[in-house]
Amino acid sequence: MILRVPYDELPVLLTADLASAGLDPERVHAMVVDAFDEDLPDGGLDVTSAAIPSLVVGAGGFVAREPGVVSGLGVAELAFYYAMGEGVEVTDRVPDGTRVEAGDTVLRVAGLLQDLLTAERTALNFACHLSGVATATAHWVAALEGTRAKVLDTRKTLPGWRALQKYAVRCGGGVNHRFSLSDRAMVKDNHVVAAGGVVPAYQAVVAANPGLRVEVEVTDLDQLRELLEVGCTEILLDNMDTPTMAEAVEITAGRATLEASGGLTLERAREVAETGVDFISVGALTHSVKVFDLGLDLDEQ
């Protein structure tokens, strides 16, 4: 039966490592608790692993099955410690954000085999998903290399996972957009309809939130011109074709930052970046990313 180590008994170095990455260690611990509660409801046993002799000790490594960028290995370590406490030893953990090749070992773990087998999938779920986000982001970053454009994430995140997913975007070289509905204003098409126009919507939000950053979505160049005339300095170009975006950059002439969004693909990324936009936002980094293939390979006994 796993130990279920409480937050205040976690190693200081482990929680400090998560905090230095911009994560809330207590929140990460709570997510790990929830994950184990799904696997072991009501304090139940892993009925498969419990059949392994209880005092057998083993070791193994998290091995990459494909090239990519890893993320979430600190969360995986916390998952093992939550399950096993001081009975686990995690070594050789590469830093999150490391580019790896197929066959590379990204961490090693040792302890009682019953507990390792029970904790294996929970730890991998965190690391595989977050490494998938980091790897996808790195592909976009590589596609934009040599241009001024940076890759942005969105709020299209899994409920409860936003901080972790946005951390993984940073590991892959991307840039975070807003974290919530309150740390930055974003005027979208329905706000424009509700306010009766793009300028009234922008001015209403600015008046209600003095000093707050306000970005406005536009769907055509007339809306862009209207916003530039009233001093809007952050504008999102929604679902525009490449020539129209290039014209938007020319019209703006540096008076506002421009973010391209909507219907973008990795194959089209560079041509969009070469229009001169400042940012390219990609919801797919978090809402439909392919998990990275990591596996735990146990050493032969």
Q: What are phi and psi of 242, to 5 degrees?
A: -65, -45
Q: Which among 46, 153, 215, 217 is annotated as catalytic?
A: 217
Q: Is 238 a catalytic residue?
A: yes
d(CA 142, CA 140): 5
Alpha helix stretches (DSSP H) within the chain: 12-20, 25-39, 73-84, 113-143, 162-171, 189-195, 198-208, 221-229, 242-252, 269-273, 284-287
Q: Is 290 a catalytic residue?
A: no
- 89 - beta bridge partners? 110
Q: Which among 4, 108, 155, 156 is annotated as catalytic?
A: 156
Q: Which among 4, 99, 108, 121 is annotated as catalytic?
A: 121
SS3 label, residue 140: helix
Q: Which two tokens stand for residue 192?
A: 């424009």
Q: Which among 99, 188, 255, 268 is annotated as catalytic?
A: 188
Angle made by CA atoms 70, 71, 77, in degrees to the nearest 5 = 110
Q: Is 166 a catalytic residue?
A: no
With contact defined as beta carbons under 8 Å apart, do 96 and 76 qualify? no
Active-site residue numbers? 121, 156, 188, 217, 238
